[in-house]
Structure 1
């Protein structure tokens, strides 16, 4: 992966200092080199993490006709096959990189090329003949891509801090973005937490020219009508899924010119990808795990089972509450977002271990829960529907007890709470019924906001984006679409994914987010994915021979980390008291000072232990929003241009008398 940035301005030529400052702000994304292209209209910047064609894949890149100039973050895993097809159509290649394949694919197929790509990408392509800038983002939003307008300029970048390198860009938190975060855990594309800053919606491309910005969708997750699923044979679907996951993993392991490692979490998803990798490796496979010193969150037993089964070279990092508290400010800086869980910070520490061990690519199991129905929210929705039809109290209690065997403070242990939790009245035709309970619970945090920061309507905006045929889908399919549209792209692949990986210049690869895997899962009936309350049933069947039964049969345990318990320590870092001091709360103007004071008093009394789910989210939301405001709004300073280092420049402005590349 890399970092990209740039400016389109049909009125004023972009000065070199601006594009260099933008590149400096994202230098951590690409420590292996950098370069920029500039003409009278467009500037493109790139910082490189060299993974494919290490010597030849320098960016910005163009084709033999110099019509198209490109900067690119990500990987096109089927680039070998696409290059062969393009050569047969007369295209000539100078490199063995996937980057050059994008250039020729655009020349050959135009926007249709995005449907042909199997990969993860954020692309900025300047078509000099058409006089248009194209910004494209992969199907799921694995790679980040932001943009904003400032006067006649349209600026874009992999990270928001790069946009802020132009000091004319407004730095201000957006109430609608905050409302999204306090509803769906993260801003939902195209919104961000910052006023005027937008993100390219996954599965779309933007066409930018002197007339403005136009968005085009080339892909979105879609499901067949309920009862009309085209693939209804369980054994056939099992075999197809196995084949697709194996090929997706093989591509992501083998298509690299640097070593590739694998995460091993203790769950089935990373166990599958690590097991498949060992089948194709011609040397020892290196795996990496995250441990917790708090036994409630630790999955070391299952990690041990799998690494012993595979015989990998294994490294792990054991994280304490103190580690999380210390790492949280840096995690917020890289995420450029507040979050309601501490979970991103340990993931950043894990990627640091990967980099320290000499690796800059890891394969992970992310995406399996969304594609194959692995989350509690899917099971909860099913239980809610069953309880609506079941009057017997004993049966209802048994259903709730089956949901959270891993949770110490499970709703099933408090029958009265479970009844209220699963019997909240929602309209029977509500397309968001699967997520309403989460949204309502999370949105209660908004009562702590300063009145000037409050907004509403996030849930309605999310549902308004659902495809017109969604009402005909199975309820599980609707829930999967919502999870992909909200939590997957905005939080799991961003705050907890790309940003925590790239904080240490590490690329993550996600076989379960190969679109061919999704196509197989989407075509199958709901009961193949969620069989009774057995989540990811199809995946378990497909790989039962490779995974220990103890992992296959273990109750689903989501990745969690200590939240408030990491904050209210006897030796808590100074930043906690600073961020929540009355003066800081008033100065930021985000939260109600009295509400914050009462919350922090409660946390100190309990030492962060025994706090409920909502209070944990309140603590993290307040702290991370305060950190975000301080670092990216109040105290922001634009970086100086890149220090002396190799910078490849391509200058074709009228201000370059020679008109040559430099």
Structure 2
């Protein structure tokens, strides 16, 4: 992957300068340390910038890149995995190529297919394409949102870039944190696309294309998650469908091994990463190196399963060990790269893991991200299924006890425990057909963190985050099976806006590493979306068809182990014997009041509990991480705006020079 940026004029009187375009490059150097370039069109209507991470055609893939007569130019971040096949097709149509890079297929695909060119791309991408003959700019983001692309207007110019930091050198003043975005983060874990944490800075939504023409910006959707109406599913035996799923996954994996540099893989020890590594081993003869994380807290550590897969497949493995104090020490860098507030520290170890990948001499890793969303693997889907069953007889005493099958460690025999179980999981039970039913318990828990919002912030909130989401759901949503509705919500809230961004691309590219995601190949998604939900979850056995497809390649213990979601330690590292100074400073009463987002007194009470070493509730744990990360965002991007706008690559303003 790489970093892209650019400026486009919104009026005929405006001219774009090469110097301004170049000023946006330094904040992107960590995304593309291997080279860079700038294109300015003859009429100075648009300027395109690029920082390169060399993966394919190391000698000939420099950008911005053009077609034969230099009328179409592109700056591109990502990979087009079917570029080999697409190149052959375009050659037959008479197009002439001057490189062997995947980038060049983009300009020729645009020439051949017009605005439909993205439909022909199998990949992960953020594309800025300038058609000089028609004086139009296209901004395009991949189907599921693996790669970021941000934009804003400044006067009569449109600015765009792979990261918000690259917009700052061209802003006349510091951005402002959006109350609406904070409300969404403290509900869904992330601001909902196209919103970002900052007012008037937006992102191109997944599967969307923006076209700037004649000074006007219009938006279109070229791809979305679609599910059939109930009953209109794939036909065939479980065995036949498992074979078809395997074939698609195998090809999705194989084409993601295309590179002119070594390719590695993440191995957590869970089903998804284990299956991915098994697929790589079966369909590639190249030596394979895997990368894993171990944790100080035993409840989070999966080392025993990682070791089992390493021995089973005979792969070489590099591993880091994450201690609680590592979280606190590295959290500011996490937020600087994420460019948003977050409620969990989980991205921090992922940034450390990508650092291990880079230090080991690798630029590319494959990961199992997306399998749970696509194939139905989360406990949340099981919860929703049980709650749907419970809703048919809401007075039942035994139906809610099925939740114990998900969480056997829950004590449900006492009266108090039963009351808690009933009150928590019965949220929305009276309306099981409401659009957000599957996610209401999660959203309710997260929303309780808003009790720490200041009066000033609450006064600026003008809409309910959940109501706004449900208003924007597609018209066909209510005709889908309840399981598929849950999948859509998960993909459109948590996966695209948090997992693939804050925990994915931003933590990978902080260390100049490209992640590739076979389970998010659009062919895999489209095949899975037409599967009968019973093939995704049979009774409470998640990913039934996927397990059947992989049963001959994985140890039984891996196939049958209970889903363990990736988590990292949160509070303990921030309040150890020697906590980092920035925590006390940013959570001080003075800073909380000055920044204005949170109630200093309420946060103070929570801090006292944490400092005493008291066990604090799950929601309070999220709240404290959310408050601290918001304070860090304000410090980096508002208080230290001028310095951040001048920083190069992965550096950030010191937290001790205040």
Q: TM-score range by the shorter chain?
A: over 0.9
CA contact (8 A) 1:373 1:530 kept: yes
Q: Return the alpha-carbon distance in structure 1 between the equivalents of residues 550 and 639 of structure 2.
A: 51
Name the counterpart of 2:620.
615
Per-residue deviation, 1:78: 0.2
**1:414 aligned residue (417, 426, 430):** 417
Deviation readout 1:439-463 (Å, 9 max, x if unpaired) = 1211111121112223232112222
58-67 or 166-175: which moved more?
Answer: 166-175
| Change beyond 3 A, Cα 1:620–1:408 | farther
**2:335 aligned residue (332, 336, 352):** 332
CA contact (8 A) 1:411 1:418 kept: no
**1:110 aligned residue (114, 130, 138):** 114
Per-residue deviation, 1:413: 10
Name the counterpart of 1:302.
305
| Change beyond 3 A, Cα 1:97–1:60 | same
**Matching of residue 373 in structure 1 with residue 380 in structure 2:** no
Per-residue deviation, 1:408: 10
CA contact (8 A) 2:435 2:485 kept: yes
Name the counterpart of 1:91.
95
**1:631 aligned residue (630, 636, 646):** 636
Q: Return the alpha-carbon distance in structure 2 between the equivalents of residues 368 and 223 of structure 1.
A: 17
Aligned ranges 1:25-104 → 2 under 5 Å: 25-39=27-41, 40-104=44-108
**Matching of residue 286 in structure 1 with residue 289 in structure 2:** yes
Q: Return the alpha-carbon distance in structure 2 between the equivalents of residues 359 and 408 of structure 1.
A: 46
Q: Return the alpha-carbon distance in structure 2 between the equivalents of residues 390 and 582 of structure 1.
A: 49
**Matching of residue 558 in structure 1 with residue 558 in structure 2:** no
Aligned ranges 1:222-621 → 2 under 5 Å: 222-231=226-235, 233-253=237-257, 255-390=258-393, 395-396=398-399, 398-405=401-408, 414-425=417-428, 426-454=430-458, 455=461, 456-606=463-613, 610-621=615-626
Deviation readout 1:383-403 (Å, 9 max, x if unpaired) = 111222357866335411111
Q: Return the alpha-carbon distance in structure 1 between the equivalents of residues 574 and 208 of structure 2.
A: 39
CA contact (8 A) 1:178 1:187 kept: yes
| Change beyond 3 A, Cα 1:641–1:14 | farther
3-state SS, counterpart of residue 287 of structure 1? strand
* Normalised TM-score (structure 2): 0.94
Per-residue deviation, 1:296: 1.0
Name the counterpart of 1:23.
25
Q: Return the alpha-carbon distance in structure 1 between the equivalents of residues 230 and 472 of structure 2.
A: 20
| Unmatched segments (≥5 aa) in structure 1 | 644-662
Name the counterpart of 1:657.
none
Per-residue deviation, 1:427: 2.5
Name the counterpart of 1:152.
156
**2:169 aligned residue (165, 183, 186):** 165
Q: Return the alpha-carbon distance in structure 1 between the equivalents of residues 640 and 414 of structure 2.
A: 42
Q: Return the alpha-carbon distance in structure 1 between the equivalents of residues 19 and 407 of structure 2.
A: 55
CA contact (8 A) 1:8 1:154 kept: yes
Per-residue deviation, 1:15: 2.5
* Normalised TM-score (structure 1): 0.94
CA contact (8 A) 1:501 1:508 kept: yes
3-state SS, counterpart of residue 466 of structure 2? helix
Per-residue deviation, 1:639: 4.3
Q: Return the alpha-carbon distance in structure 2 between the equivalents of residues 83 and 157 of structure 1.
A: 27
**Matching of residue 184 in structure 1 with residue 188 in structure 2:** yes
CA contact (8 A) 2:90 2:109 kept: yes
| Change beyond 3 A, Cα 1:184–1:252 | same
Q: Return the alpha-carbon distance in structure 2 between the equivalents of residues 405 and 361 of structure 1.
A: 39
Per-residue deviation, 1:613: 1.3
Q: Return the alpha-carbon distance in structure 2 between the equivalents of residues 413 and 358 of structure 1.
A: 54
Q: Return the alpha-carbon distance in structure 2 between the equivalents of residues 118 and 432 of structure 1.
A: 31
| Change beyond 3 A, Cα 1:259–1:226 | same
Per-residue deviation, 1:228: 2.0
Q: Return the alpha-carbon distance in structure 1 between the equivalents of residues 409 and 570 of structure 2.
A: 17
Name the counterpart of 1:12.
14
Q: How many residues align?
A: 640
Deviation readout 1:540-564 (Å, 9 max, x if unpaired) = 1110111111111111110001111
Q: Return the alpha-carbon distance in structure 1 between the equivalents of residues 340 and 472 of structure 2.
A: 23
Per-residue deviation, 1:12: 2.4
Q: Return the alpha-carbon distance in structure 1 between the equivalents of residues 239 and 410 of structure 2.
A: 33
CA contact (8 A) 1:20 1:642 kept: no
Find runs of 4+ consecutive structure 1 residues off by over 4 angstroms: 390-394, 405-413, 638-643
Q: Return the alpha-carbon distance in structure 2 between the equivalents of residues 408 and 50 of structure 1.
A: 54
3-state SS, counterpart of residue 296 of structure 1? helix
110-119 or 10-19: which moved more?
Answer: 10-19
CA contact (8 A) 1:405 1:555 kept: no
| Unmatched segments (≥5 aa) in structure 2 | 650-658
Q: Return the alpha-carbon distance in structure 1 between the equivalents of residues 414 and 99 of structure 2.
A: 57
577-586 or 326-335: which moved more?
Answer: 577-586
Per-residue deviation, 1:405: 4.6
Q: Return the alpha-carbon distance in structure 2 between the equivalents of residues 33 and 287 of structure 1.
A: 27
Q: Return the alpha-carbon distance in structure 2 between the equivalents of residues 71 and 410 of structure 1.
A: 61
| Change beyond 3 A, Cα 1:171–1:390 | same
338-347 or 232-241: which moved more?
Answer: 232-241
CA contact (8 A) 2:343 2:623 kept: yes
**Matching of residue 214 in structure 1 with residue 218 in structure 2:** yes
